[in-house]
Amino acid sequence: MAATMMKRTAPYGSWPSPVDAALAASHDGRPEYVGAVGDELWWTAPRPEEGGRRALVRRRADGTEETVLPAPWNVRSRVVEYGGQPWAATARAEGGPLVVFCHFPDQRLYAYEPGSGAASADGGAPRPLTPVSDVGGGLRWVDPVIHPDRGEVWCVLEEFTGPAPTDVRRAVVAVPLDGSAADDRSAVRELSDGRHRFVTGPRLSPDGHRAAWIAWDHPRMPWDGTELRLAEVGPDGTFAGERTVAGGPEESIPQVAWDARGRLLFASDRTGWWNLYRAEVDASGSAGEQAALCPREEEFAGPLWKIGLTWFAPLDDGLIAVVHGTGSTALGILDPATGAVADAAGPWTEWASTLAVRDTRVVGVAASPRGSYELVELDTGTGHARVVGAPHTDAVDPAYYPEPHERVFTGPGGREIHAQIHPPHHPAFTGPDDERPPYVIWAHGGPTGRAPLVLDLEITYFTSRGIGVAEVNYGGSTGYGREYRDRLRERWGVVDVEDCAAVAAALAAEGTADPARLAVRGGSAGGWTTAASLVSTDVYACGTIIYPILDLLGWATDETHDFESQYLHGLIGPLDEVPERYRERSPIEHVDRITTPFVLLQGLDDVICPPAQAERFLARMAGRGVPHAYLGFAGEGHGFRMADTMVRALEAELALYVRTFGLDRTDVPGLELRT
């Protein structure tokens, strides 16, 4: 076994590894949107080898797993471009379950009855419920809930009213299940009053008399401020008396639900931490006292990047399943009567924002530094947790996995910086005593996000070759309270850059990393941080810039989607008040400061960070004598999903490090650098 080999000494970065780019790509992605359908569990799963589609998977009561819909059916929504809950299903006494799902290519809602006939490639079995529009981005749907007794599915509609990305409206709607709206937009019944730019799907109270959802407007993002909306539901299914009962411009509420007794449950960061609250709705329809169920300096929710994310789920016995923690997360069972939380035992250290409840059992999606994301069921009666779906399997000997650890570094002004360090690790090789390893600083996307400490074969791809990785949860990251999150307000391109550089410098100063062989990489907002780092610091020898933001003025006007079109209002400042700041912070305005090699990786169908920015950036770099490479990938949007793309991207990144750091490798495809 590899774990018992005598270690040989070889230069860092030169070690052989069984973790090639194809293996890493085949394990990219994780299960999402888990739900209970009768005695079955359903979820969506990544299929990189099938063009990056999301498959709908079911686990039957006997434990067998099967794909509900074959290729090319792709269960994924494009609402706010990041999507959200794309399916709903209900068990029926006869005829098997009924599922409603959003198909990515045309964004229509479809109804399908598994068992009634094979789903054919031409869509012969699933039947469309919603029409197609040729206006702008068309019609899109997300966060569906089936109401069989009403003959409808309630969800969110995103409707483009013109050609621009911001020519769009959203509403809470009811779509008839009989297919009468398949070619008739007027048959879709609008439920909300349409006053808000963004909404989540409605949650119906147990007695069917009230509906609750979340809404917000530009320029706020949902982690800045949202409103909890409540309406009465008439016998004919119409909404009346719509009003705000919690939240506001400075209070973020990312999830709402009802408990079995008809009380509102919601997460709010009104104290600086996303905690859980409960409110009685009286006969007049007002939410009275809003009691904190477990006031702690911990997060019981997170940023609402996708519509329909779930951090808590009420059980029929009054207990509440919660995903909570500071930095890393746990699955716990909260007793509202006492405020006590009992956490599930097991190796899992990170739980995703998706939960399903089946009687006294809770199912979530969890991972650890030694295992990828898998479906885990917690029996609240016995306290026993077990894997029930998409089980982790070791693609290689676990001896090749890195042994990461969490650290807190000190940044400018003495501020804390959270990071996760993945040192080089190989069961058969070690580096020379007189050599320090190269390290790559990873900047996560968002920037309102967080890098979880979990097994990632992309990281193993580098660490098993002798290259260290440091994931930096820079100021602005979630998981550490609102104050930490707000550090980035009007300081994007400053705090994130400084924090990443501080971690890199600290690793070098303590002898962990070679100061001459440091790199920075990131995608989306992390691509921005990477580019901003290359134009404003001299810490790094090279950088990997992945589907980035490079031009703030372009991004603030017409070069991104509606959801983030005013994000910079908080990250940089109002454009009409600080226009010079937009120019000063933009990497595209300072290409003359770049002196180190880089590779730029871009999806050519990206509407969030469009290739036009990358192309302008490269045009300004031409002839400056700085080695660089550009790889554009047709058919890829924001975030690479196809196996071939991920393989080429990883190999190109490694090729950059081999060339820049002078690593002794001959197994990496060539990367042509131009100047």
How deeply is 406 buried, as exposed, middle or buried, from its count of CB atoms within 10 A (0-12, 13-18, 19+)?
A: middle
Single-letter amino acid code for the residue at 539: V
**Listed range (25-39, 282-296, 469-483, 526-540) with the worst mean pLDDT:** 282-296
Q: pLDDT confidence of 119, banded at 50, 70, 90?
A: low
| Contact call for residues 495 and 476 (beta carbons, < 8 A) | yes
Residue 124 has pLDDT above 80, yes or no: no
- The pLDDT mean for the chain works out to 95
pLDDT at 293: 98
- The DSSP-derived string for 157-213 is EEEE-SSSTT-EEEEEEEEETTSTTTT-GGGSEE-S-S-SSEE---EE-TTSSEEEE
Cite the beta strand spans of 91-150 per DSSP E.
98-102, 109-112, 127-128, 139-147
Model confidence pLDDT, tens digit, residues 614-638:
999 999 999 999 999 999 999 999 9
pLDDT at 2: 45
Nearest CA to 500 out of 524, 525, 533 is that of 533
Query: What are the structure tokens assigned to 367, written together?
Result: 């991972």
Cα dihedral sign for 629, 634, 640, 642?
negative
Query: What are the structure tokens assigned to 516, written together?
Result: 């001459």
DSSP bridge partners of 323: 331
In angstroms, the CA 144 to CA 128 distance is 14
DSSP bridge partners of 674: 628
> In terms of DSSP bridges, do strands 542-548 and 518-524 run parallel, antiparallel, or are they unpaired?
parallel
Taking residues 188-195, report their average pLDDT: 94
Model confidence pLDDT, tens digit, residues 440-455:
999 999 999 999 999 9
- Please give the angle made by the CA atoms of 552, 553 and 554, to the nearest 5 degrees: 90
CB neighbour list of residue 656: distance below 8 Å, 6 or more residues apart: 519, 542, 544, 597, 598, 599, 629, 671
Single-letter amino acid code for the residue at 571: L
Q: pLDDT confidence of 662, banded at 50, 70, 90?
A: very high
| Contact call for residues 520 and 500 (beta carbons, < 8 A) | yes
Q: What is the DSSP letter of 6?
A: P
Q: pLDDT confidence of 95, banded at 50, 70, 90?
A: confident
pLDDT at 289: 85
Cα dihedral sign for 636, 585, 542, 415?
negative
Q: What is the DSSP letter of 317?
A: T
Model confidence pLDDT, tens digit, residues 301-347:
999 999 999 999 999 999 999 999 999 999 999 999 999 999 999 99
pLDDT at 5: 60
Taking residues 112-121, report their average pLDDT: 64
In angstroms, the CA 88 to CA 56 distance is 11
Cα dihedral sign for 457, 460, 465, 469?
positive
Residue 545 has pLDDT above 70, yes or no: yes
| Contact call for residues 542 and 518 (beta carbons, < 8 A) | no
Residue that the structure tokens 């600290």 belong to: 506
pLDDT at 509: 98
Entry pTM: 0.95
| Contact call for residues 139 and 107 (beta carbons, < 8 A) | yes
The CATH superfamily holding the domain 2-21+396-661 is: Alpha/Beta hydrolase fold, catalytic domain (3.40.50.1820)
CB neighbour list of residue 575: distance below 8 Å, 6 or more residues apart: 553, 556, 568, 569, 582
Q: pLDDT confidence of 431, banded at 50, 70, 90?
A: very high
pLDDT at 96: 86
Residue 117 has pLDDT above 70, yes or no: no
Residue 471 has pLDDT above 80, yes or no: yes
Cα dihedral sign for 527, 528, 529, 532?
positive
| Contact call for residues 229 and 257 (beta carbons, < 8 A) | no
Model confidence pLDDT, tens digit, residues 192-241:
988 999 999 999 999 999 999 999 999 999 999 999 999 999 999 999 99
Q: pLDDT confidence of 585, banded at 50, 70, 90?
A: very high
pLDDT at 657: 98
| Contact call for residues 655 and 671 (beta carbons, < 8 A) | yes
Nearest CA to 104 out of 135, 80, 73, 144 is that of 73
In angstroms, the CA 289 to CA 277 distance is 10
Decide which of 364 and 123 is more confident.
364
In angstroms, the CA 665 to CA 675 distance is 23
Model confidence pLDDT, tens digit, residues 388-414:
999 999 999 999 999 999 999 999 999
Taking residues 251-262, report their average pLDDT: 97
Q: 35: helix, coil or strand?
A: strand
Task: Please state, for a pLDDT cut of 90, what percent of the chain lies above it.
Answer: 94
pLDDT at 182: 98
Nearest CA to 216 out of 562, 494, 460, 533 is that of 562
Query: What are the structure tokens assigned to 130, written together?
Result: 């919603």
Model confidence pLDDT, tens digit, residues 477-497:
999 999 999 999 999 999 999
Residue 366 has pLDDT above 60, yes or no: yes
In angstroms, the CA 82 to CA 62 distance is 34
Cite the beta strand spans of 400-509 per DSSP E.
405-410, 416-422, 429-430, 439-443, 468-473
Query: What are the structure tokens assigned to 72, written together?
Result: 């090319």
Single-letter amino acid code for the residue at 671: L
Residue 118 has pLDDT above 70, yes or no: no
